[in-house]
Chains A and B, each alone.
Chain A
Amino acid sequence: DVKVTQSSRYLVKRTGEKVFLECVQDMDHENMFWYRQDPGLGLRLIYFSYDVKMKEKGDIPEGYSVSREKKERFSLILESASTNQTSMYLCASSFPVVAPSAEAFFGQGTRLTVV
């Protein structure tokens, strides 16, 4: 059974803390993605990685950074958490879009609350 696993389902952090959200996939996918989902705004892409140590900014990268040291792991880092980063965070992975099987698989999500 294919899997994208996010390290926490729920997190509560204080304003100003450095926060790490971890995502691991076991499908040998080249692509990995981080999104946040807020009511009325849908899923917005934060960062995207197409290979180890390679990354591209998405639509809303401000206040976030990412790390991809190994193919299976993609970390989202909030350098100094703020209350407006309270959200549901979703990780996904996929093969390249030109591959025969290019569908993205999503993790179960991490609901982060910054107080």
Chain B
Amino acid sequence: DAKTTQPNSMESNEEEPVHLPCNHSTISGTDYIHWYRQLPSQGPEYVIHGLTSNVNNRMASLAIAEDRKSSTLILHRATLRDAAVYYCILRRGNTDKLIFGTGTRLQVFP
């Protein structure tokens, strides 16, 4: 399975934009890029996903590099509630497996 690499931790101030990077240099053509986050004492929750084009939803934006070897999750205005572990995951189109890495722990300061 293709691997992703994320920084262990990042910090942000409230109401500032946050850019969470993810490297996936061994991505294949059928791999979807998914992002999940896990708030303290909760199960993970879906944030956003994409294949080739940039994506926006009410929670975040996903910017995918042209060669697809990296992507960035963008939180436009961080809130205290966004403090969580963020996981970047590749989901292979022909297997449906969902394999998590260790993620990025985001701290948000008031």
Contact = CB atoms under 8 A, between A and B. Distances in A.
B92 interface: yes
B17 interface: no
Nearest to B41: A109
B68 interface: no
Interface-centre pick from A58, A104, A105 (highest chain B CB count, 10 A): A104
A33 B101 CA distance: 16
Nearest to B31: A97
Interface stretch (A38-46, A64-72, A74-82): A38-46
B interface bracket (residues with beta carbon within 8 Å of A): 20 to 34
Interface string A47-72: 01010000010110000000000000
B contacts with A: majority SS: loop
A45 B44 contact: no
B44 A97 contact: no
Contacts of A48: 96-98
Given A42-B103, A97-B32, A97-B91, A50 B46 contact: no
B43 interface: yes
Contacts of B49: 102-103
B90 to A, nearest CB: 10
Given A106-B43, A108-B42, A42 B100 contact: yes
B15 interface: no
A104 B32 CA distance: 13
A90 interface: yes
Interface residues of A, number: 29
Contacts of B98: 31, 33, 45, 48, 92, 94, 104
Nearest to B43: A106
Given A102-B91, A103-B49, A109 B43 contact: yes
20 contacts: A30-B96, A31-B98, A41-B102, A43-B44, A45-B97, A45-B98, A45-B99, A45-B100, A48-B97, A50-B96, A96-B96, A97-B91, A97-B93, A98-B93, A102-B32, A102-B91, A104-B46, A107-B43, A108-B42, A109-B43
Interface of B: 32, 34, 36, 42-46, 49, 87, 91-93, 95-103
